[in-house]
């Protein structure tokens, strides 16, 4: 997960015969975050943030789709994991996610984004991030780093590389993933630094995936965020 710090924008217009709308391309830390920032159709479950520069219309070109969710006051942009297998490149995420991962915005940083993206929805109007989405984000980001490419699959060799660890810890992690995988319960995220949890790295995982606090093992969404309501008793 990453949070862009520096923004820059270039403004053009769509073709006159296509309405001649403003069309802003927004770069975050040098990567293209939005193409047609003012043309984005917010408020839907699938949001295309890279739009066709000729017409600015949703669906005219392939890819650039994300879900936008909130976890308390934080906002996340992430791929349409479940739909990717069936629809592939038509709904694939924007290219920046391949190199930097899921977008994560704490409130202050989201407010900054709101200053450069017209009609950006308020965080409290977004649908809550669900536990099942946390499991997919954690898995996708780890697999992505291990494979060095985008793969929305649900298993495979890269994932197997994580199992080269203590069988007890793998078993605990598998229970956490199974618990979260089908759960539509809203996720509660706590910054790892605000806990006393001890982190556990599994096999070849690029960062810890588990955190143990007291008698409970928690799923980690990322190296910095613990999923407070996804845990098993040890």
Q: Which is nearer to Zn ion, 55 or 227 (CB)?
A: 55
Secondary element (H or E) of residue 180 = helix 167-181
Smallest distance from Zn ion to CB 55, Å = 3
What order do you get walking across the sheet with 189-191 strand by strand? 189-191, 225-233, 216-220, 210-213, 198-200
Binding test (CB under 5 A) with Zn ion, winner from 60, 111, 122, 178: 60
Q: Which is nearer to Zn ion, 39 or 55 (CB)?
A: 55
Q: Does 20 bind Zn ion (CB under 5 A)?
A: no
Smallest distance from Zn ion to CB 57, Å = 5
Binding test (CB under 5 A) with Zn ion, winner from 33, 37, 49, 52: 52
Distance between CA atoms of residues 96 and 186, nearest Å: 26
Q: Which stretch binds Zn ion (CB under 5 A): 20-28, 46-54, 100-108, 145-153?
A: 46-54
Cα–Cα–Cα angle for 29, 31, 35, rounded to 5 degrees:
125
Distance between CA atoms of residues 28 and 33, nearest Å: 6
Q: Which is nearer to Zn ion, 19 or 43 (CB)?
A: 19
Distance between CA atoms of residues 44 and 172, nearest Å: 36
Q: Does 54 bind Zn ion (CB under 5 A)?
A: yes
Do 34 and 25 touch, CB atoms closer than 8 A?
yes
Q: Which is nearer to Zn ion, 35 or 209 (CB)?
A: 35
- Residues forming contacts to Zn ion in the complex (CB under 5 A) are 52, 54-55, 60
């Amino acid at each position: 997960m990453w949070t862009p710090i520096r923004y820059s924008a270039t403004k053009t217009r769509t073709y006159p015969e296509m309405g001649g709308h403003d069309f802003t391309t927004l770069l975050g830390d040098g990567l293209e975050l939005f193409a047609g920032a003012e043309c984005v159709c917010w408020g839907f479950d699938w949001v295309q943030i890279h739009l066709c520069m000729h017409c600015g219309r949703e669906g005219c070109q392939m890819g650039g789709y994300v879900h936008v969710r909130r976890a308390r006051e934080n906002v996340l942009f992430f791929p349409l994991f479940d739909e990717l297998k069936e629809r592939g490149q038509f709904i694939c995420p924007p290219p920046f996610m391949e190199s930097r991962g899921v977008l994560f915005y704490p409130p202050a940083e989201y407010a900054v984004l709101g200053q450069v993206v017209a009609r950006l929805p308020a965080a409290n109007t977004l649908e809550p991030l669900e536990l099942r989405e946390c499991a997919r984000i954690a898995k996708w980001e780890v697999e992505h780093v291990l494979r060095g490419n985008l793969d929305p699959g649900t298993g495979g060799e890269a994932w197997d590389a994580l199992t080269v660890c203590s069988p007890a810890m793998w078993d605990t992690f598998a229970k956490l993933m199974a618990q979260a995988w089908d759960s539509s319960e809203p996720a509660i995220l706590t910054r790892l630094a605000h806990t006393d949890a001890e982190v556990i790295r599994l096999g070849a995982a690029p960062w810890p995936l588990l955190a143990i606090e007291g008698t409970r093992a928690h799923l980690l969404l990322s190296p910095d965020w613990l999923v407070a309501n996804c845990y098993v008793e040890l």
